A and B are shown apart, each in its own frame.
Chain A
Amino acid sequence: MAKTDSGLGGLKYDPSKRARPPELNVFFALVGIVVIFEVLGRLIYGDSFLFNTRDNVDTLFNNQRLQVIILQVSIVGIIALGVTQVIITGGIDLSSGSIVGATAMITMSFAQTWLVNGNPNPKAIFGEAWMDLPVIVPVVVGLSCGMIAGLINGALIAYTRIPPFIATLGMMVSARGLSKWWSNGNPISFPTEGYAAIGKGLNPVLIFVGLAILFYCIMNYTKYGKHCYAIGSNEDAARMSGINVKNHKILVYAIAGTLAAAAAIVVSSKNLTAQAGMGVMYELDAIAMAVIGGISLQGGRGSILGTVLGALIFGVIISGFTFLKLDAFYQEMVKGVIIVGAVVLDQWRQQSRARGK
């Protein structure tokens, strides 16, 4: 029998020549895109994208711009954390944007304050008894709403075996309907100070980073994470190995729904208002972040770290376009190109891997 050396069975293995982790490529892309904007900015406007050029501020980087970038991506980034888990199991979630809308409306109704400048709240949804509740109430109500929506998604997918695309598309339409029906299309405003504090300043960033670290650990170090990858990789094998695939899927979609609700809480708190149209297109932005971060839409591959980097790339591009004073139309057009481009890139990677290159 063969003897075992460094690799098993006497095969030579050089750990220093390991394939680069895919996240590193995403990171290089991030750096590359920043450099492109830096160069374009200096060529076209003689202004720096990344560095501070104002004399009255004493910082190396343009902190204001960096803050805008991370603040911008934090809210959708929270959703993208859930979407990442869904896609890794081989599914897709189109409902997150609408869940943001519906939960924002419902949550805000429980977060209102009774007296605005001494007058009763003109936007009050419920009576006085339901006003000025402790901040924990709207938060729990909101997260529960998102979780229930996710549970419905998951149960539909696990038990009726309809494709995730269809199940979550249904939820997308229904939840949007709910958010419009909730207050007959009127915005809901004037939250309590406690609620308004959630999304103040850089809090959204802290919440995003905290959740990203939490789910990074969960995906890498727990049974749940392992089973996500196993199901996305080979669902039959997962089932034969004794993983309860149905329950796992329900859990994954429930977590995704809860994260969408968390994003709803942050965004409504930050804006001090909730509107029926909140979160439109967030689901696509979240999927885009995951895709740019190197996730495979076939399932089984991708990571939280990749998605966080993808979110940063996303933010840099949006901010870079604003910096170059390009119209919002161009931004959207290019966003679409980037999403498709990232998927095409993923396909190429898979094909070249299959050819053994």
Chain B
Amino acid sequence: MSKIILETRSLTKHYGGVHALEDANFTLLDGEHVAVVGDNGAGKSTFVRQITGVEQRTAGQIFFDGAEVNHGGPLEARESGIETVFQTLALADDLDVPSNLYLGREIIKFNLGPFSILDRKAMKARTLEALQKTAVKIPNVDNPIRNMSGGQRQCVAIARAAAFASKLIIMDEPTAALGVQETAQVENIIRGLKERGVPLILVSHNLRQVFDLVDRIVVFRRGRIVASLRSDETDGNDIVSYITGVKGNADAAVA
């Protein structure tokens, strides 16, 4: 059995009186792809924000790669090897693709502090390499990404996460508002990650997609994890009944 890459114990987040996340016990194995599903407001994004250090949790523990972690911000999480594709994408529209991939971690030719000279050739070459792996369609990577389609932009954000050979990738609704083709493209990238053995947490409302892609499905309901099911041992109706609360309760066993 492969080792556990991420584990949360009794992870809890309250926003004032709102119990957005309660006592979440979650484990992710190395190389495993897990989907997080649940109704609007079930606490999925909240869960992601705690793991990625965007917010500070109310209670509980997070173990990552064998040690307990306390990420003070998204940067620390990224440096420890967690790459995130946020719902908002976090792209700079006026910059070209290489600049976006390397934003905040530029390759430097000559170090002069803040005025360090950029190695644009190296960044472009590695960007093309990274993008080819993702099979994204972009006519010219030197154009600002402002003019690119939603799918292309999404792919740039995902390629950025995928390129930096990280230990864990989290995607919060990466295909929301994407067309059929673009969605297929993103799904291809995710399959590529699976082949490379990079573990993934995928937040999604698309059950068809979830069953296609992941090993395990974790259902959130009203801030609690109510089910954790292997995708080949369950079906859509089963998941829906957990999501809607027909089945399961807060004490459901968690793998």
Interface on A for B, CB 8 Å cutoff? Answer: 1-2, 4, 7-13, 15, 18, 218, 221-224, 226-227, 229-230, 232-234, 236-238, 240-243, 248, 251, 300-301, 353
Contacts and interface: CB of A to CB of B under 8 A. Distances in A.
A229 B92 contact: yes
Contacts, number: 103
B131 interface: yes
B115 A234 contact: no
A222 B116 contact: yes
Interface stretch (B136-144, B172-180, B206-214): B136-144
A226 B95 contact: yes
B138 A7 contact: yes
Interface stretch (B33-41, B105-113, B236-244): B105-113
Interface stretch (B2-10, B16-24, B55-63, B83-91): B83-91
A238 B167 CA distance: 22
Given A8-B139, A222-B118, A353-B147, A237 B90 contact: yes
B142 to A, nearest CB: 9
Contact residues of B: prevailing secondary structure = loop
B122 interface: no
Contacts of A222: 112, 114-118
Contacts of A2: 135, 137
Give the 9 A-B CB pairs with smallest separation, nearest first: A9-B137, A241-B104, A242-B104, A300-B94, A233-B94, A233-B92, A7-B139, A237-B90, A241-B103
B116 A232 contact: no
Q: Which of B89, B103, B116 counts the most chain A CB atoms within 10 A?
A: B103
Contact of B116 (A11, A15, A223, A230): A223
Given A224-B115, A242-B104, A242-B105, 11 more contacts: A7-B137, A7-B139, A8-B131, A9-B137, A12-B139, A18-B140, A229-B95, A233-B93, A234-B92, A237-B89, A242-B75
A230 B135 contact: no
B132 interface: yes
Contact of A8 (B86, B95, B114, B141): B141
B99 interface: yes
Contacts of A238: 92, 103-104
A223 B123 CA distance: 13
A8 B148 CA distance: 13
Contacts of B91: 234, 237
B150 interface: no
A133 to B, nearest CB: 30
Given A226-B106, A251-B114, A13 B94 contact: no
A346 B211 CA distance: 47
Nearest to B109: A221
A72 B154 CA distance: 48
Assign chain B's interface to a size class: 35 or more
Contacts of B136: 8-9
B128 interface: yes
B78 interface: yes
Contacts of B117: 221-222
A226 B137 contact: no
B248 interface: no
B138 A8 contact: yes
A4 B147 CA distance: 21
Interface centre among B99, B112, B115, B131 (most CB of A within 10 A): B115
B103 A230 contact: yes
A224 B146 CA distance: 21
A9 B135 contact: yes
Contacts of B147: 353
Contacts of A8: 128, 131-132, 136-139, 141
B132 A218 contact: no
B93 A300 contact: yes
Contact of A237 (B92, B106, B112, B146): B92
B90 A223 contact: no
B135 A1 contact: yes
A236 B106 CA distance: 18
Contacts of B106: 223, 226
Contacts of B139: 7-8, 11-13
B188 interface: yes
Nearest to A236: B90
Contact of B90 (A221, A229, A240): A240
A11 B115 contact: no
